[in-house]
Structure 1
Amino acid sequence: MIKNEIAVLLEKAANEAQRRNLLPPIAMPEIVLERPQNPEHGDYASTLPLKLARAARMNPLTIAESLASLIQLPKEIERIAVAPPGFINFSLRSDWLTAQVEDILSAGEEYGNVDLGKGARVQLEFVSVNPTGPLHVGHGRGAILGSTLANVLASSGYEVVKEYYINDAGSQIDAFYRSLYARYLQALGRDAVMPSDGYFGDYMIDIAREIINEEGERFLDQPAELGRMGMAKVIAAIEADVRLLGVTFDEWFSEKSLFEHGQYQRAMSRLKEKGYSMEKEGAVWFSSTALGEDKDNVLVRSDGSATYFASDIAYHYNKFIERGF
């Protein structure tokens, strides 16, 4: 990009100025180029002389004149001008700018792409809302930001995998199942009390009625199967909502699969082998203090259930060790 090329020209000029003793041997600040508010001041402007002035104990205008005199004009730049109190302004050639239109049109959607990543694999996991209810505006914001970042990385030469992590294990899923079963019974005219830790949104009533319309009373004695069907409907609704935003995922990864396919067990075994887990107070703990933390953290509760921390470790084990991200 021409902006980067101008920054390189300034850096080379500053180094040459130091070599010729036109500038003392001081550290170079970051070279920033800005678009002047007044078009008469050119297409790009640098305040590098102003940044150097204090450390160099020199007049910034003198620095600007020295740097400008050391820059060899490339074909893209028509002129360089120095302006008080210490700006260096760059004006691009009109014919070069006009030629860029043809380049842009011929490149199409590929215009502006770079190969910074050189094919390196990158995983972006975003949104990942619990499958216990619909998305809200904040979730949509996260979806748009994540998808935009994925597009930027893909256009920068990275192989991007977009992933949605489905939190379909743990206490929140149990609460969802019990809530849906209560709404299901109520919709069938049966007495049922919503659990105190349940999901009270009207959408649960809608899901229960939808399942009754499709399956009738089939789940009266199958609350777990009812819960799984309800959760599948929530996930389908989430996928439909993000698609309306133009957001898609390459992978919908189930937390439950970590336990079903052995990743959780392998991750816990590896921690034990490396000496990072221990048993105390009837539970299994991660030896966080050995790594500089203030306290250890529970991996497996005394009732045998895994904490979110443990499943997160298993998920990262799966991503970094088994899938190679």
Structure 2
Amino acid sequence: MTPDQLSDAIVAALTSLVDAGRVTLPDPVPAQVRVERPKVKEHGDYATNIAMQLGKKAGMNPRAFAELLAAELTASDGIAGAEVAGPGFLNIRVAAGAQGEIARHVLEAGESYGYAPATGRKVDMEFISANPTGPLHLGHTRWAAVGDAIGRVMAAAGDEVTREFYINDRGNQMDKFGASLMARAHGQEPPEDGYLGAYVADLAARIVAADPGITSLPEDEQLVAFREAGYALQLGEHQSELAEFNTHFDVWFSERSLHESDAVERGMAKLREQGRLFESEGATWMRTTDFGDDKDRVLLRGNGELTYFASDTAYYVDKRDRGFDTCIYLLGADHHGYVGRLNAMAACVGDTPGEQIEVLIGQLVKIMQEGKELKLSKRAGTIVSLRELIDLIGVDPLRYTLIRYPADSPLTLDVAEMTRKSNDNPVYYVQYAHARLSSIIRNGADLGLTADLDRFDPSLLVEDRAGDLLRALAEFPRVVARAAELREPHRVARYLEDTASTFHKFYDVCRVLPQGDEEPTDTHRARLVLVAATRQVVATGLDLLGVSAPERM
């Protein structure tokens, strides 16, 4: 019996009491009742405080209300007992057979277990915004992992999620990039305010190798040619590295396209329509102070040049025009000042911050190796890139470790700890649990045993450790839903670690497979079904984090 099924049973019991006239409520019986796993196992399988919530409304002492509900529940199928505690808490014990059915439910649902029906809500997530002028760095890497995982859990919770990479391919930095490439191609130092990393010389060499005549073009044409060729190469590297990092984007949105289409004009028109623009000092401003911003923002300077904020506004309006109900922005720690202005911008176009727009801020990450911090500085050319981090740490440990902590917490991570192949490394611990589960299933197949639901007797899963594991599996859909609601995929990682521990404790005391000449029994089969269900949940959880589920380690 899952928590949702138990909630349904409590609702049915409440409805029965009301229909029989034994309880009178001023409002309809709630459609759902919150049930939780008690902190003390001896208190039962689940607990609810619904009697305390409804008792006074019914004109009854909450404890007396709880006693009526307990008696009604005990007569329900699948409920072994219900006891009243304290001022009106209800502790509920689920019958072994009903609890064991959770394993069947998991296997019948397969990969969709933990997933919710479609909400109909369209969500846009912009979680990397990078210049195509250099490699992706550690700051991008954190959002690549966390943003992708947020998108995965929100999709699992039923939202239609579109992931966008915003390419900052317009502005002065692109010309500086082209000038730096051109200088390196001619064996010269880049301009003083140009790009100095070693990657610039590498890109320049690749460009010349592909087009030897590029260095003979007139200087103005040559700069543009180097700029565009370097742009294409660098963006290609971003795309291939993120794909290797298991981070998927549905849309690669070019800032240039906002200005080459009528998107900026549409955005400005929308703001004028809302009465949010005004002219001052020859410039066009947006009245963001009407919605809590610390100052109004310039969109069009007196010299006719559009600001970055004009692009940001046009991009937001474009997203809403594309039909997205909610637009989520994941920004780095150095963008804290953007929260107020982005919320004010959304309000200026007639939207409600917190509903149509959400802004999440991630904190900085430090990577330590042999007691020293790996430094990053794109301008100085000492950047720690995503490519280097993948090579140094590996995709799975890097992703998992970045995701398992709240994104708004600063992180200091150690290379040796992330790559250690031992049970004190969380990613190894969870992946090892999946490998061990897979090994049990393989060994069972060698003995002619499979997770056969037709021969599954859930009432045989009576041990306390089996009950603990079943209740853990039952919690998975609620963990996913909560992770999506709060934009906190680290909840899935912590759940997997707890569930792996619960499985190992079960396996230590409950022998799953027969030994020696022992004949397989229905108990072996029931336990193997539980093992298979656990493997499914662990595999699905790892997939929500974009981390592999190895069958052998």
Give TM-score, length-normalised by structure 1. 0.78
Please report how far the alpha carbon of residue 87 of structure 1 lies from its aligned counterpart in structure 2 after TM superposition.
4.4
The partner residue of 1:92 within 85, 91, 94 is 94
Whether the 8 Å contact between 1:178 and 1:195 is mirrored in structure 2 is no
The answer as to 2:146 corresponding to 1:145 is yes
Query: Aligned runs of 1:56-205 on 2, under 5 Å?
Result: 65=67, 67-69=69-71, 71=73, 74-83=76-85, 87-117=89-119, 119-185=120-186, 189-190=187-188, 192-196=189-193, 198-205=194-201
Residue equivalent to 1:278: 278
- Per-residue deviation, 1:217: 5.1
Determine the C-alpha separation between the residues in 2 that align with 1:73 and 1:237. Answer: 64
Evaluate the alpha carbon distance shift between residue 102 and residue 64 of structure 1 in structure 2; reply closer, same or farther with a 3 A threshold.
closer
TM-superposed deviation, 1:303:
2.8
Offset of residue 2 of structure 1? 3.0
Measure the CA separation in 2 of the matches of 1:144 and 1:138: 10
Tell me if the contact between 2:181 and 2:190 (Cα under 8 Å) persists in the aligned partners.
no
Q: How many residues align?
A: 313
- Could you tell me which of 194, 204, 209 is aligned with 1:208? 204
Write the distance in 1 (CA, Å) between the matches of 2:203 and 2:176: 15
Q: Output aligned runs, 1:248-263, within 5 Å.
A: 248-263=248-263
2:219 is the counterpart of 1:223: no
- The question of whether the paired residues in 2 share the 8 Å contact of 1:42 and 1:89 is answered with yes
SS in 1 for 2:130: coil
Alpha-carbon distance change, 103 to 21 in structure 1, aligned in 2, over 3 angstroms: closer
Secondary structure of the residue aligned to 1:231 is helix
| Aligned-residue offset at 1:208 | 1.9
CA contact (8 A) 2:214 2:225 kept: no
Change (3 A) 1:48 1:273: closer
Partner of residue 243, structure 2? 243
Correspondence for 2:344:
none
The answer (yes or no) to whether the contact 1:68–1:82 under 8 Å persists in 2 is yes
The letter for the 1-side match of 2:110 is G
Alpha-carbon displacement from aligned partner over 1:91-116 (angstroms, at most 9, x marks no partner)? 22222233333332232212232225
Change (3 A) 1:324 1:51: closer
Quick one: distance in 1 between partners of 2:227 and 2:110?
48
User: How far apart are the structure 2 equivalents of 1:46 and 1:59?
Assistant: 16
Q: CA deviation at 1:148?
A: 2.1
Q: CA deviation at 1:177?
A: 2.7
Query: What is the CA-CA distance between 1:160 and the residue it aligns to?
Result: 2.2
Rounded Cα–Cα distance in structure 2 between residues aligned with 1:149 and 1:167:
23
CA distance in 2, matches of 1:34, 1:244: 39
Deviation at 1:152, TM superposition (A): 2.3
* Offset, 1:166: 1.2
SS at match of 2:268: helix
Alpha carbons of 1:160 and 1:217: their partners in 2 closer, same or farther (altered >3 Å)?
same
CA distance 1:177–1:22, change in 2 (3 Å): same
Percent same amino acid at aligned positions?
39
Aligned-residue offset at 1:229: 1.5
The 1:74–1:223 alpha-carbon spacing in structure 2 relative to 1, beyond 3 Å, is farther
Where in structure 2 are there 5+ consecutive unaligned residues?
325-553
1:36 is aligned to 2:47: no
SS in 1 for 2:191: coil
Q: Please give the secondary structure, in 2, of the residue aligned with 1:34.
A: coil
Check whether the contact 1:183–1:194 (CA below 8 A) recurs between aligned residues. Answer: no
Q: Partner of 2:323 in structure 1?
A: 324
Q: Name the SS for the 2:129 alignment partner.
A: coil
SS at match of 1:174: helix
SS in 1 for 2:116: coil
Residues 168-207 of structure 1: CA deviation (Å, up to 9, x unaligned):
112333333333333333xxx24x44232x3332222222
C-alpha spacing 1:107/1:257, structure 2 compared with 1 (3 Å): same
How far apart, in 2, do the equivalents of 1:4 and 1:105 lie? Answer: 17
Q: Deviations over 1:58-115 (max 9, x none)?
A: 9986675455345465434322233458643222222223333333223221223222
Shift of 1:274: 4.3
Give the Cα separation in 1 of the matches to 2:98 and 2:13.
23
* CA distance in structure 1 between the aligned counterparts of 2:87 and 2:273, rounded to whole angstroms: 65
1:296 aligned to 2:292? no
Could you tell which deviates more after superposition, 271-280 or 43-52? 43-52
Distance 1:258 1:113 in 2: 36
Over alpha carbons, which structure has the higher Rg?
1
CA contact (8 A) 1:22 1:66 kept: no
Whose RCO is larger (CA < 8 A, sep 6+)? Answer: 2
Return the letter of the residue paired with 1:324.
G
The 3-state SS of whatever aligns with 1:169 is: coil
Change in 2 beyond 3 A, CA 1:52/1:99: closer
Encode CA deviations 1:277-310: one digit per residue, 9 max, x unaligned. 2332222212334556553210012332211110
Q: 1:274 to 1:89 in 2, by over 3 A?
A: closer
- Alpha-carbon separation, structure 2, partners of 1:274 and 1:87: 52
For residues 266 and 85 of structure 1, the distance between their equivalents in structure 2, rounded to whole angstroms, comes to 60
